[in-house]
C-alpha cells in the first residue's frame, strides 16, 4: 500500500534543545565597563580656520535705478441709467431700490446706486456689476423677478436668482419697473 501524501499531519512543536544547566533568561556581560567618577570632561571646540574677509569695491558712480512708475490703470467702463446718470465702473456697483453691500467684500468700498421702484418690482439689492480681469460681470443678487440682459445683436436673456453673465459695451440690462441701464466702453484718452 502506498502512503497517503495528500493528508496534512500536524505535530506539536518541540521546545528548543538547550544544554542542561544553561539559563537563557539571564543577561551575560563579559568584560568590564569603566564608569567615570565625577562630571564628564569638557571637550574644547576646534580652533576656527581664519578666512580672508570679502573685499567690497564701491564704484564712484551711483548705480541705483529709480523704481519704475506703475503703469496707469486703464480708464473704467461706464454705466448709464435711464435718467441719463453716468457712473464709472471703477469699483463694484450694487444696484437696487435700497442696495446694501455684503458684510464681507474684498477691495475698495463698493458704490451703492439706488433706483426708484414705484411698483416695488426691484429687489433691495437687485444687481451687482464688477470688473473681473478686464471683463464686466453682471450678477443677479437673487432678485425676485430676475434680470434681463441683452447683449448687442443677441436676444434678451433672463438671469435667474444668483446667475452671472459677462457683458460687453452696448449691453442693455433691464431690472424691471422702468429701471434700465446700459454698459458703455471706457472713455478714450488723448494719448496716441
Compute CA distances 70 → 34, 65, 104, 132, 147, whole Å: 74, 15, 29, 20, 38
Q: Assign 3-state DSSP to the chain and report helix, strand, coil percentages, each to 5.
A: 0, 25, 75
Q: Is residue 32 part of a domain?
A: no
Q: Is residue 25 part of a domain?
A: no
CB 182 within 8 A of CB 79: yes
Q: Is residue 127 part of a domain?
A: yes
Separation of alpha carbons 84 and 31, rounded Å: 104
* Whole-number pLDDT of residue 32: 67
Enter the C-alpha cell of residue 1: 500500500
Q: Is residue 101 part of a domain?
A: yes
* Whole-number pLDDT of residue 2: 67
Q: Is residue 192 part of a domain?
A: no
State which H helix or E strand residue 94 sits in: strand 93-96
With CA atoms as reference, report the closest residue to 121 among 148, 157, 97.
97
Enter the C-alpha cell of residue 186: 471706457
Q: Is residue 35 part of a domain?
A: no
- Indicate the number of domains in the chain: 1
- Per-10-residue mean pLDDT of the chain, 192 residues long, equals 66 73 66 67 77 73 69 86 93 95 86 92 94 93 93 94 94 94 86 50
Separation of alpha carbons 2 and 51, rounded Å: 89
Q: Is residue 125 part of a domain?
A: yes
* Whole-number pLDDT of residue 156: 95
Say which DSSP state 159 is in: E
Q: Is residue 191 part of a domain?
A: no
Three-class SS of 106-144 = CCCCCEEEECCCCCCCCCCCCEEEEEECCEEEEEECCCC
Separation of alpha carbons 7 and 27, rounded Å: 44
* Whole-number pLDDT of residue 105: 78
CB 147 within 8 A of CB 140: yes
Domain CATH number, residue 132: 2.60.200.20
Q: Domain span at residue 129?
A: 78-184
Amino acid at each position: 500500500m502506498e502512503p497517503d501524501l495528500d493528508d496534512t499531519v500536524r505535530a506539536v512543536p518541540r521546545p528548543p534543545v538547550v544544554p542542561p544547566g544553561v539559563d537563557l533568561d539571564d543577561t551575560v556581560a563579559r568584560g568590564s565597563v569603566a564608569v567615570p567618577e565625577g562630571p564628564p570632561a569638557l571637550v574644547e571646540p576646534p580652533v576656527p580656520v581664519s578666512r580672508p574677509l570679502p573685499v567690497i569695491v564701491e564704484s564712484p558712480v551711483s548705480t541705483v535705478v529709480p523704481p519704475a512708475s506703475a503703469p496707469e490703470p486703464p480708464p473704467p467702463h461706464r454705466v448709464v441709467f435711464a435718467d441719463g446718470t453716468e457712473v464709472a465702473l471703477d469699483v463694484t456697483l450694487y444696484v437696487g431700490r435700497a442696495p446694501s453691500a455684503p458684510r464681507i467684500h474684498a477691495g475698495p468700498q463698493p458704490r451703492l446706486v439706488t433706483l426708484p421702484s414705484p411698483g416695488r418690482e426691484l429687489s433691495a439689492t437687485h444687481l451687482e456689476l464688477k470688473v473681473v480681469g478686464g471683463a464686466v460681470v453682471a450678477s443677479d443678487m437673487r432678485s425676485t423677478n430676475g434680470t434681463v440682459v441683452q447683449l448687442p445683436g443677441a436676444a434678451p436673456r433672463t438671469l435667474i436668482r444668483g446667475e452671472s453673465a459677462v457683458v460687453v459695451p452696448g449691453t442693455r440690462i433691464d431690472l424691471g419697473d422702468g429701471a434700465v441701464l446700459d454698459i458703455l466702453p471706457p472713455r478714450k484718452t488723448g494719448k496716441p
